[in-house]
Structure 1
Amino acid sequence: MVDYKEILRLTSMGYSLRQTAASVGHSHHTVKNVLELAAKHGVEWPIDEDVTNAELEKLFYPERRTAGSHYAEPDYDYIHRELSKKGVTLTLLWNEYCERAYANG
């Protein structure tokens, strides 16, 4: 995950895009994009300590959070119980999962 707070902090200290990118381990294009989004949304350093990077990501990229997974979540407790039985394999459970998923659309 991008450390938005660190990017804003380093930039406020006068670091260049490339220096900031090297410090946070992302490309300078990512840093530039974050700074543009921060300016667009009026976010400046210093930020309240209670603001998290996840909250900043929701603010900067709301479309990333709206899309949910359209796959059915496996029942891991069921899988664990079934794998303890003799003759049950993960492949067999996978096939059962696929059949249920196709039946439920």
Structure 2
Amino acid sequence: MVSRIPAKRVLRLRSQGLSGRAIAFSQGIARKSVALVVEAANTQDMGFDDVADMDDGAVYALLFPGRGEHQSVFSQPDWQAVHRELARVGVTLKLLHGEYADRVTELAW
């Protein structure tokens, strides 16, 4: 899983007067990531004061709308049913996968 840029922390540190290089070093992220956050905030004329009461996810979504959203094109198994079946004696993940693959193959034909 790709981690998100800590946009709110970047804006907070930027408002305290730290340079992009210092922010990147202190947060363990790339300078380009810091530059992207600062550029997005400048484009939207936004500072830390505007996002101080928001959580990190909301700030990221505000600065980078639609980024990081992903919907799988593959159907997902019923994970609750998988966990219930795995709790039974003698049931293995390999066995469940074989049954799942058989059902998917039958639906495809």
Question: What TM bracket, shorter-length normalisation?
Answer: 0.7 to 0.9
Q: Which residue of 1 aligns with 2:93?
A: 90
Q: CA deviation at 1:66?
A: 4.7
Which structure 1 residue ranges, 4+ long, deviate > 6 Å from structure 2?
Answer: none
Residue identity matched to 2:43: K
- Counterpart-to-counterpart distance in 1, 2:53 and 2:102: 45
- Counterpart-to-counterpart distance in 1, 2:54 and 2:34: 19
CA RMSD of superposed structures (Å): 2.2
What are the ranges of 5 or more consecutive residues in structure 2 without an aligned counterpart? none
What are the ranges of 5 or more consecutive residues in structure 1 without an aligned counterpart? none
Alignment CA distance shift 1:50-1:99 (3 Å): farther
More contact order relative to length (CA 8 Å, sep ≥ 6): 2
Map Cα deviations across residues 8-42 of structure 1 (whole Å, 9 max, x no partner): 11111111111011112111110011100111112
Residue identity matched to 2:84: R
TM-score, length basis structure 1? 0.79
TM-score, length basis structure 2? 0.77
Percent identical among aligned pairs is 34
8 Å CA contact retained: 2:8, 2:51: no
Q: Which residue of 1 aligns with 2:12?
A: 9
Out of 52, 67, 72, which is 2:70 matched to? 67
